[in-house]
Chain A
Amino acid sequence: MTAIPLGSPRRLIEFTLDGQEARVPEGSTILDACRAAGKDIPTLCQGDTLTPKNACRVCVVEVEGARTLAPACSRKAEPGMDVLTDTERARHSRKIVLELLASSVDLSTTPKVAEWIKEYEAKPDRFGPDAARLNEEPKVDNDLYVRDYDKCILCYKCVDACGDQWQNTFAISVAGRGFDARIAVEHDAPLTDSACVYCGNCIEVCPTGALSFKSEFDMRAAGTWDESAQTETTTVCAYCGVGCNLTLHVQDNEIVKVTSPHDNPVTHGNLCIKGRFGYQHVQNRD
């Protein structure tokens, strides 16, 4: 377990969550309070290492007295607030959001979404066979990772991780507007012509598998990707003296993917190109 800096003491906020008294430290979000109380609220664009963008709106809850629903991931708990997480109104919006996403985006590699679709009885097919989809082809323009924007829900997490929240490389941005908005580098060029430094921190935060290791992409295409057969081993990166934690995902005695624990105080889930992609020497058996 990592040491957590104590910081200054925080006041406790008292409010009502689904009829129960809830007490959370000042600055906590409704989502924090829900999770502390053991309530499950679906989230997609929320990331544990990033400032909430509240773009997906799948975590909406009802706040008494508010005209619209509030995103649990970013609305801070306020004293005396009365929050209802499981009303028909909130569930309706979650269901529609899931339907809108599933009818336009390939969610086949998004963890948990299939359960939610079942739980909320979402029927993405009801928009008909002609419902507009993203219709993007995977962009395979380098040897390290693949951008399959057909799976992109535009959660902004990769943009934030690449930009001022972590990497400060600013290689990608949202381009275009509305349904035609896409994540792109400048002039929609290949990644190899961009500012990308291949740290892979965007892959780390991608909630849908739109960004993936080339190794994972190829294995999925070949039908050999099998997460149940993978082991995860957390170790320390051997390259420099920073001491980043690496989690090696191994299948059939081959490293197939490298991540970093999000609660690691050194990395917060972030790595550089060497730690993320420079593992081939480990497997060099000649």
Chain B
Amino acid sequence: MDLHFGDSKPTDEERAAVDALLGPPESAWEGADDRTDADLRWARGGREARERRDLLLPGLHAVNDRVGWISEGALDYLCRRLTVPPAEAYGVATFYSMFSMRPRPATVLHVCTDIACAAAGAAEVCAGVEARLGPGSGVSVERSPCLGLCERAPAALVVRAGAPAAGFSPAPPLPGSIDMRLRRGGAAAPDPAVGGSAASSSNAGRAGISGPGAENSARPALEDEPEGRLRGSRGRSPLVTGRGGVGESSYATAVAAPATIDSTIATATAPESAPAEPPATMAVPQAGQPGLILLRRIGAVDPTSLDDYRAHGGYEALRHAFAIGPAGVIREVTDAGLVGRGGAAFPTGRKWQATASQPDHPHYLVCNADESEPGTFKDRVIMEGDPYALIESMTIAGYAVGAHKGYVYLRGEYPRALHRLTHAIEQARARGLLGDDVLGQGYAFDIEIRRGAGAYICGEETALFNSIEGYRGEPRSKPPFPVEKGLFGKPTAANNVETLVNVLPILTMGAQAYVAIGTEKSTGPKLFCVSGTIERPGIYELPFGATLGDLLDLAGKPDNLRAVLLGGAAGGFVRPDELDIPLTFEGTREAGTTLGSGVVLALDDTVPLPRVLLRIAEFFRDESCGQCVPCRVGTVRQEEALHRIAERTGAAAAGDIALLREVGRAMRDASICGLGQTAWNAVESAIDRLGAYE
């Protein structure tokens, strides 16, 4: 590879941001300024450097977090460091909507204009904010797809670039040596070596592990230092900006939800002093009720405390897993009838079995936390409210499929979930619950978080692999399937967050008891993301088999219900007279609709349906990766046709509806991945079931 770099140089800030992630360059081959005699005699980099290609996306994040955009000099420097061709890195950087290749203000305000937020008045908020935060305001306002804050619609997310605030680094720590350079406030950061020995000494007994001493010694800086707006209800005084500094602001994120024009502007101009986000439990109207399985700990445990997690039954499932062995875990999961909760409903046991039995090594476990389906926020609530549950279930899954490395691919719009998970992973690592010898059982497993950067398509598992590997997040063609050739071309089990946390009750209560929940074909509990024009939006847990009406009654259905969107933008609408649809995979299929990721978005009759459909079409047009023709151009043509008929009905719309059907059919049949294949679902169901445009 004979790479060509331009003459652009990074600024000191950009260089520092990259070096904080990758460490200082080891030679001029890797971008060091001074060329030594040794550099002239030995070429360095090569294969070794190229093997770090997967750090491209974290590198782009590092620059974007620090400066707010990615300059030519910064991109070139990152390319030199990782031996990546600049053209390819440019292709990757321009793929993600959260990155900018042009200068922009350090503060970016993402105002959600998606379905649930639009129904709650996002258009007015957005227009008002745009009018007042014009050029020169120091804030760049961007209209955003669903931010996953639907229970508090309308929502806005502020990301202010800057130097990392002390005690909090926006970049997720990487295990291994790079990790150590990255960590700030070294004394307070947990040292894996120390943590390891502490864990091994306390492995003798459970009391030892959960002793307060271990917790305190391992508790990282996060607990003792302010952490900006990322703190939940237990919040302390807000982080003051400008510390540590060169007069520049530090990196900060904040959420305004429910957003008004004034609160959004206040949050955008001073994210560090915005009011704290409500705790995750506020998104769970059933919190504290008996009988909950997946949500039982949310609100009951301190999401920052491993001890509290253990006091609430944490790590019982992992102990049981070690007792029954990997094959036993897979058998339990298979017997429990667990199927994927991300939308595709593939049997988890079969996926694990297929991965575990691959002769090729290493095996990988990937947790798909790129929850971007409009209206979906269940994974966020789990990660924010019960992060250790995900870590424990990933450890079990990794053990079952023979993986020693797990990746969480977390969507870029979830700063609080990132923060909670990062902290939880550090804690678990320090306590020997992750690392070379998990629970003293001789099983090595560690978890790394990779942050997405604004691309719905990266929720598609093969696109997600490409994204982690440092390529454009374009889906691969299947076969080969991930269980055979997945992440880094190796056997990979990829599971959604909710799927994984279901493994805990399966192991603690046993497959028999789990099967008793739900229906014959859809077993277990299911989380539903209820939002829209409804009294008590939030995450609800119901056993499979409850009807749509049951769920809406719980959440306070409006009297003038017009339609319910099931499964998100890729799902379909149902009518108010179809509320007896059982919420199971087979029941929704029989009714000609889909459960998808569990979105239940209620719309009353004040919400103009054509505008909702247009927003869905816009969403798919924006989020199409552009790889295949049916989706790349088809989503554009779909949006154009919906624009034309926005104000029309009956015969005036018939021609365009026929055109939509033809294009939709080809998108469904001929697109590479699920995005294109489902891009016409919601529109079709609105026409056929709701009689839109009649």
Residues in A lying within 8 Å of B, measured CB to CB: 54-58, 60, 68-69, 71, 74, 89, 92-93, 95-97, 100-101, 103-104, 126-128, 130-132, 153-154, 156, 163, 168-181, 184-189, 193-195
Top 4 nearest A-B pairs (CB, nearest first) are: A170-B85, A173-B91, A195-B4, A181-B626
B26 CB within 8 Å of chain A: no
Which chain A residue lies CB-closest to B85? A170
B458 CB, nearest partner CB in chain A, Å: 11
Complex Cα distance, B75 from A132, in Å, reads 31
B640 CB within 8 Å of chain A: yes
B577 CB within 8 Å of chain A: no
B559 CB within 8 Å of chain A: no
A154-B626, A177-B94, A184-B90 given; name 4 further pairs at CB < 8 Å: A55-B628, A92-B669, A177-B623, A179-B621
Q: Is the pair A178, B621 in contact by a Cβ cutoff of 8 Å?
A: yes
Which chain B residue lies CB-closest to A130? B640
Q: Is the pair A154, B87 in contact by a Cβ cutoff of 8 Å?
A: no
Which chain B residue lies CB-closest to A196? B4
Q: Is the pair A96, B2 in contact by a Cβ cutoff of 8 Å?
A: no
Partner of A181, one of B3, B6, B75, B632: B632
Most buried by A among B2, B86, B635: B86
- A100 and B634 contact, Cβ closer than 8 Å, known pairs A71-B477, A177-B455: yes
Complex Cα distance, B85 from A101, in Å, reads 30
Q: Is the pair B75, A186 in contact by a Cβ cutoff of 8 Å?
A: yes
Q: Which residues does chain B contribute within 8 Å of A154, judged by CB atoms?
A: 626-627, 629, 632
- A74 and B666 contact, Cβ closer than 8 Å, known pairs A181-B632, A186-B87: no
Most buried by B among A56, A104, A170, A189: A170
Q: Is the pair A178, B632 in contact by a Cβ cutoff of 8 Å?
A: yes
Binds A, one of B196-204, B331-339, B670-678, B686-694: B670-678
B472 CB within 8 Å of chain A: yes
Q: Which residues does chain B contribute within 8 Å of A103, judged by CB atoms?
A: 633, 637
Q: Is the pair A54, B670 in contact by a Cβ cutoff of 8 Å?
A: no
B540 CB, nearest partner CB in chain A, Å: 30
Q: Is the pair A92, B662 in contact by a Cβ cutoff of 8 Å?
A: yes
Query: For residues 142 through 174 of chain B, which have their beta carbon under 8 Å from a beta carbon of chain A?
Result: none
Q: Mark each residue of chain B from 639 to 670: 1 if its CB lies under 8 Å from any CB of chain A, else 0.
A: 01000100000000000000100110110111
B287 CB within 8 Å of chain A: no
- A128 and B640 contact, Cβ closer than 8 Å, known pairs A93-B669, A171-B4, A181-B632: yes
Q: Is the pair A132, B630 in contact by a Cβ cutoff of 8 Å?
A: no
Q: Is the pair B87, A171 in contact by a Cβ cutoff of 8 Å?
A: yes
A259 CB, nearest partner CB in chain B, Å: 24
Partner of A97, one of B85, B95, B625, B630: B630
Q: Is the pair A170, B3 in contact by a Cβ cutoff of 8 Å?
A: yes
Q: Which residues does chain A contribute within 8 Å of B635, judged by CB atoms?
A: 178-179
Partner of A127, one of B75, B88, B659, B670: B659
Q: Is the pair B87, A172 in contact by a Cβ cutoff of 8 Å?
A: yes
Which chain A residue lies CB-closest to B3? A195
Complex Cα distance, B679 from A100, in Å, reads 16
Partner of A173, one of B87, B101, B672: B87
- A69 and B670 contact, Cβ closer than 8 Å, known pairs A96-B663, A101-B629: yes
Q: Which residues does chain A contribute within 8 Å of B677, judged by CB atoms?
A: 68
Which chain A residue lies CB-closest to B640? A131
Query: For residues 606 through 635 of chain B, which have their beta carbon under 8 Å from a beta carbon of chain A?
Result: 621-630, 632-635
Complex Cα distance, B630 from A223, in Å, reads 34
Which chain B residue lies CB-closest to A56? B629
Partner of A185, one of B75, B87, B94, B632: B87
B658 CB, nearest partner CB in chain A, Å: 10
Which chain A residue lies CB-closest to B8? A187
Q: Which residues does chain B contribute within 8 Å of A93, judged by CB atoms?
A: 630, 665-666, 669-670
Complex Cα distance, B91 from A197, in Å, reads 19
Which chain A residue lies CB-closest to B666? A96
Interface size range on B against A? 35 or more
Which chain B residue lies CB-closest to A95? B666
Partner of B91, one of A55, A126, A174: A174
B586 CB within 8 Å of chain A: no
Q: Which residues does chain B contribute within 8 Å of A71, judged by CB atoms?
A: 477
- A174 and B626 contact, Cβ closer than 8 Å, known pairs A154-B632, A186-B75: yes
Q: Is the pair B6, A89 in contact by a Cβ cutoff of 8 Å?
A: no
B246 CB within 8 Å of chain A: no
Q: Is the pair A100, B633 in contact by a Cβ cutoff of 8 Å?
A: yes
Q: Is the pair A57, B628 in contact by a Cβ cutoff of 8 Å?
A: yes
Q: Is the pair A127, B628 in contact by a Cβ cutoff of 8 Å?
A: no
B636 CB within 8 Å of chain A: yes
A sample of 17 inter-chain contacts (CB < 8 A) reads A57-B628, A93-B670, A96-B630, A100-B663, A101-B629, A104-B636, A127-B637, A170-B87, A171-B4, A171-B87, A174-B626, A175-B95, A186-B75, A186-B85, A186-B87, A186-B89, A187-B6
- A175 and B90 contact, Cβ closer than 8 Å, known pairs A100-B630, A132-B640: yes
Q: Which residues does chain B contribute within 8 Å of A104, judged by CB atoms?
A: 633, 636
A67 CB, nearest partner CB in chain B, Å: 8
Complex Cα distance, B672 from A60, in Å, reads 11
Q: Which residues does chain A contribute within 8 Å of B76, judged by CB atoms?
A: 186
Q: Is the pair A178, B626 in contact by a Cβ cutoff of 8 Å?
A: yes
B219 CB, nearest partner CB in chain A, Å: 41
Which chain A residue lies CB-closest to B457? A177
Partner of B624, one of A178, A185, A193: A178
B670 CB, nearest partner CB in chain A, Å: 4
Q: Is the pair A74, B477 in contact by a Cβ cutoff of 8 Å?
A: yes
Q: Is the pair B101, A187 in contact by a Cβ cutoff of 8 Å?
A: yes
Q: Which residues does chain A contribute within 8 Å of B621, judged by CB atoms?
A: 178-179
Q: Which residues does chain A contribute within 8 Å of B207, judged by CB atoms?
A: none
Partner of A57, one of B91, B659, B670: B670
Partner of A101, one of B88, B623, B633, B672: B633
A42 CB, nearest partner CB in chain B, Å: 12
A184 CB, nearest partner CB in chain B, Å: 7
B643 CB, nearest partner CB in chain A, Å: 9
B345 CB, nearest partner CB in chain A, Å: 13
B509 CB within 8 Å of chain A: no
Most buried by A among B633, B634, B669, B677: B633
B95 CB, nearest partner CB in chain A, Å: 5
Q: Is the pair A57, B629 in contact by a Cβ cutoff of 8 Å?
A: yes
B46 CB, nearest partner CB in chain A, Å: 13
A66 CB, nearest partner CB in chain B, Å: 10
A196 CB, nearest partner CB in chain B, Å: 8
B1 CB within 8 Å of chain A: yes
Q: Is the pair B4, A54 in contact by a Cβ cutoff of 8 Å?
A: no
Q: Is the pair B86, A195 in contact by a Cβ cutoff of 8 Å?
A: yes
B411 CB, nearest partner CB in chain A, Å: 16
Most buried by A among B3, B87, B662, B666: B87
B307 CB within 8 Å of chain A: no
Which chain B residue lies CB-closest to A89? B669
Q: Which residues does chain B contribute within 8 Å of A172, judged by CB atoms?
A: 87
B72 CB within 8 Å of chain A: yes
Complex Cα distance, B628 from A153, in Å, reads 10
